[in-house]
Amino acid sequence: MTEKNNSLEKKYEFAWDKYTKKDLVEVSALSERYKEFMSKCKTERECVTEFVTRAEKSGYKDLNDIIKGNLRVKPGDKVYANNKGKAVVMFHIGKESMDKGLNILGAHVDSPRLDLKQNPLYEDSDLALFKTHYYGGIKKYQWVTIPLAIHGVVVKKDGTVVNIVIGEDDNDPVLGISDILVHLAADQLEKKVAKAIEGEDLNLLIGSIPTSDQKSKNRVKTNMLNIFNEKYGITEEDFVSAELEVVPAGKARDYGIDRSLVMAYGQDDRVCSYTSFEAMLKLEKVDKTCITLLVDKEEIGSVGATGMHSKFFENTVAEVMNAIGDYSELKLRRVLSNSQMLSSDVSAAFDPNYPNVMEKRNTAYFGKGIVLNKYTGARGKNGCNDANPEFIAKLRGIFNSENITWQTSELGKVDQGGGGTIAYILAEYGMEVIDCGVALQNMHSPWEIASKADIYETLRAYSAFLTKA
Ligand code: MN
Ligand code: MN
């Protein structure tokens, strides 16, 4: 138990202490499933494709087919809606009327990365390169001299979608961004860290062989265009309608000699997305309608048609109510305002290398369970969703009765910086919302670190929330 009945003092304990041999087998099995998912799904599109495939196998029906066929939805049914291949919402319909409120797990499937620009390809000094524009908050110096991969789609004029992944198969080449050799870095090393590598320096080296056509003006670039055309049937103009994302190449791995941690790209926020998805698939009969909502664009402000600010979620709830035969505008408002949500997103784990940015009594620690963040924000909680104590009390009651290990955290010291999530956007409906998820080291870096115990406790907490809250 995280809270001793016979003690007045609250002690935050290791989840590891309570695990039996059988528990440890489950902790390890979950981390294997998680690593496999993380190794394969490195973009929002890849996550949504994978989740939709798995959901369909598990009996989820496409809401579009229900609408087109004018079909009815009833308690026990499982329905999903795919938002342009980049966000997805899953419904497991409960026995109770939806205006009793929904239990919602909301997470995001986009992660910080480098996107190719619209005119990415150029030749400079007999090398072929891609221009990039970073997406989300990154420390640019972390992205040079590491193996990178390209994942994404090119959409041709006729609407054909060409899927591209370069750099993940063992036989694939990898790509990368150069850094100046230390011998000649005297000027660079005098710069501030934020300026040492600048946005326009993040150019990806992709080739160096010239085409055999001696008359061609940019022989190396021309050779690359030939390769793209042979391999993918695309021309230079096709890059204009593409979403190609540069991400760290390689698989998710165990981290630490005791194998207690996972190192993976994109754990913000796919660690919460994946555990929410598993919790959803585990549901059997539910009283309240349960929802997992996985959105795009959180890292750039939840904007756009696939971000949390779009009306997609609200519209989808209305469609599902209509398919149940119980829709009215007023009822929709009631459904949303009576709902409860875990805004499932990552927190910062205490890092003994950088103790000065954390306040030790209000920070998360590896292995101490799922993290509850009453608030995030910056400069006096600005812009945050400050969760209601009534809701937090209900959650800790559920977590304690299920023997789930949990802890609380703030994002660093007061006035050290800050951040936000999708929590405040759903709270606009008047629903109860709290930020709740897994603590990471190296957040927003190419390789983020999470504790296997925390991932396991988070899955258990999400399951308990869906069925008991
Ligand atoms: Mn996040
Ligand atoms: Mn983030």
Phi first, then psi, for residue 211 (nearest 5°) are -65, 155
Q: What is the pLDDT of residues 122-131, one digit of tens each?
A: 999 999 999 9
Distances (CA, A) of 143 to 85, 147, 197, 247: 27, 9, 9, 9
Instruction: Give the distance (Å) from ligand 2 centre to CA of residue 207.
Output: 32
Which residues place a Cβ less than 5 A from the ion ligand 2? 268
Instruction: Give the distance (Å) from ligand 2 centre to CA of residue 461.
Output: 21
CATH of domain 15-111+265-468: 3.40.630.10
Alpha-carbon torsion 295, 300, 304, 308, what sign? Answer: positive
Confidence band, pLDDT 50/70/90 cuts, at residue 265: very high
Confidence band, pLDDT 50/70/90 cuts, at residue 7: confident
Q: What is the pLDDT of residues 292-324, one digit of tens each?
A: 999 999 999 999 999 999 999 999 999 999 999
Give yes or no for residue 16 having a pLDDT over 80: yes
48-62 mean pLDDT: 98
Q: What pLDDT does residue 376 have?
A: 86
Q: Does the domain formed by 113-248 have CATH 2.30.250.10?
A: yes
Q: Which ligand is nearest to the CA of 421?
A: 1
pTM over 0.95: yes
Instruction: Give the distance (Å) from ligand 1 centre to CA of residue 174.
Output: 27
Q: What is the pLDDT of residues 320-376, one digit of tens each?
A: 999 999 999 999 999 999 999 999 999 999 999 999 999 999 999 999 999 999 998
- Which amino acid is it at 137? G
Higher pLDDT pick, 327 / 382: 327
Q: What is the pLDDT of residues 215-227, one digit of tens each?
A: 999 999 999 999 9
Confidence band, pLDDT 50/70/90 cuts, at residue 150: very high
Q: Which ligand is nearest to the CA of 299?
A: 2
Instruction: Give the distance (Å) from ligand 1 centre to CA of residue 227.
Output: 37
DSSP H helices in 167-311:
186-190, 193-196, 219-232, 267-281
In the chain, which segments carry CATH 2.30.250.10?
113-248
Distances (CA, A) of 250 to 6, 200, 307, 444, 447: 48, 25, 27, 17, 10
Instruction: Give the distance (Å) from ligand 1 centre to CA of residue 98.
Output: 28
Instruction: Give the distance (Å) from ligand 2 centre to CA of residue 443.
Output: 7
In the chain, which segments carry CATH 3.40.630.10?
15-111+265-468
Q: Which range has the worst mean pLDDT, 30-44, 146-160, 196-210, 367-381?
A: 367-381
Mean pLDDT computed over every residue of the chain: 96
Q: What pLDDT does residue 312 have?
A: 98
Phi first, then psi, for residue 89 (nearest 5°) are -130, 135
Give yes or no for residue 1 having a pLDDT over 70: no
Instruction: Give the distance (Å) from ligand 2 centre to CA of residue 138.
Output: 9
Q: Partners of 391 in the beta sheet?
A: none
Confidence band, pLDDT 50/70/90 cuts, at residue 404: very high
